[in-house]
Amino acid sequence: MDTGYHLMELPTKVLIGEGVISKLGDFIKDSAGDKKVVIASGSNTTTRVRKAVDSAIGAEPVWVEVAAADTDNVERVIRSASGSGCIIGVGGGKSVDVGKLAAFRMHLPFYSVPTSASHDGISSPFASLKGLDRPYSVMAKPPVGILADIEVIASAPKRLLASGCGDLVSKLTAVKDWQLAHRVNGEYYGSYSASLALMSANLVLERSRMLGKFGKESVRELVEALISTGVAAGIAGSSRPCSGSEHLFSHYLDLLAPDSGLHGEKCGIGTIMMAKLHGVDWRKVRSALKNVGAPVEASQIGVDDSKVVQSLVKASSIRPDRYTILSRKKLDKKSATALAKSTGVI
């Protein structure tokens, strides 16, 4: 950013704790007023959560079930949301991303109510969707409010929570890439937001055994760390502190193997390899991911070796404006294969 200024957009309020879903009505009152409330929800949202949301809001909200994170579903939410006071995303990744982008396009306040903690989209100003002109996240606005019920999130499948740890650890190489782009290209770099993002990565790197138990205390820390990384992106005014070469790798795998692995799982595996390229302790990344039960080998998420290699070689091409270690190292098939093998990914 060479203009010398940037805008910081941050969530206004966060309510976190056990059972806080019952306070959702009060939480959104400023925005909703007497108007209708539209909820984008995932197909896995449990009846228990739906009932809790209904009784917390009182007036009957309009539920829109989101089957996929794509532009069609954004349109569906937009059609239901005319005349409403706010949009709420209740669920895991998809519904939050879809609700966020719909709210952004309609200039409505957006509230995020995550039912799992699988990635940092629950608080970030970005939405990741299919059907857009590019296979990576687009800038929207951060949620006005985030309501994180630890009881609900702690009962999510462990695989989702482990995936959240993968998205957290990825800030290690994202920040390294950002520093590199600053050195090489003179790109704007904010050490405060970088440190904030690194704190979240370090939670996983330093305390993976505790975190991996996924008791209520560790789930709370995981959620707070994910919220912080979204805030770091808000302070930076870009996704730089949260997304680097490991995310490009993950986005490329999304194209080659759209149904394999969760976002955070792919980013975690990418982080192991990008850490090695950066010359930082990749073994520590790998063992932390293992400790929380996240995959460290491509076969664990059903991706074959050739797709890993192809993603390593091609990843930087999907976003040429983003300078990362992959732009510098320019891997070919041979060096990419060697990297993936030496780190145990294939």
| Nearest residue to Zn ion on Cβ basis | 167
254 contacts 135 by C-beta, under 8 angstroms: yes
**Alpha carbon distance 122, 139 (integer Å):** 14
* Structure tokens, 249: 């790798």
Write down the least CB distance from residue 39 to Zn ion, Å.
24
Complex with Zn ion: residue 167 or 177, whichever CB lies closer = 167
Chain length of the chain: 346
What end-to-end distance do the CA atoms of the chain give, in Å?
Answer: 37
Q: What string marks each residue from 108 to 147 as x (binds Zn ion by CB under 5 A) or -?
A: ----------------------------------------
Q: Which stretch binds Zn ion (CB under 5 A): 151-159, 167-175, 207-215, 337-345?
A: 167-175
Residue 33 to residue 255: CA distance in whole angstroms: 42
Burial of 100: CB neighbours in 10 Å, binned 0-12, 13-18, 19+? buried
SS3 at position 291: helix
Nearer to Zn ion, 167 or 254 (CB): 167
Sign of CA dihedral 308, 314, 318, 320: positive
Interface residue with Zn ion, options 112, 129, 150, 167 (CB under 5 A): 167
CB of 247 to Zn ion, least distance (A): 6
Would you say 78 or 198 has its CB closer to Zn ion? Answer: 198
- Report, in Å, the least distance between residue 172 CB and Zn ion: 13
Residue with tokens 């209904």, as numbered in its chain: 54
Q: Please, which residues bridge with residue 146 across strands?
A: 14, 112
Smallest gap from Cβ 166 to Zn ion, in A, equals 9
SS3 183: helix
State which residue, 31 or 200, has the beta carbon closest to Zn ion.
200
Number of residues that bind Zn ion (CB under 5 A): 1
Nearer to Zn ion, 97 or 167 (CB): 167
CB of 250 to Zn ion, least distance (A): 7
Closest distance of CB 276 from Zn ion, Å: 20
Residue 177 binding Zn ion, by CB under 5 A: no
Q: CA-CA distance, 44 to 66, in Å (whole number)?
A: 10
Instruction: Please report which helix (H) or strand (E) contains residue 264, including its range.
Output: helix 263-278
Q: Edge to edge, what strands does the sheet with 36-42 contain?
A: 13-17, 145-149, 110-114, 84-91, 36-42, 62-66
Q: Which stretch binds Zn ion (CB under 5 A): 21-29, 36-44, 163-171, 228-236?
A: 163-171
- Name the one range near Zn ion by CB under 5 A: 80-88, 145-153, 161-169, 213-221: 161-169
Cβ nearer to Zn ion, comparing 134 with 334 = 134
> Which residues here bind Zn ion, judged by CB under 5 A?
167
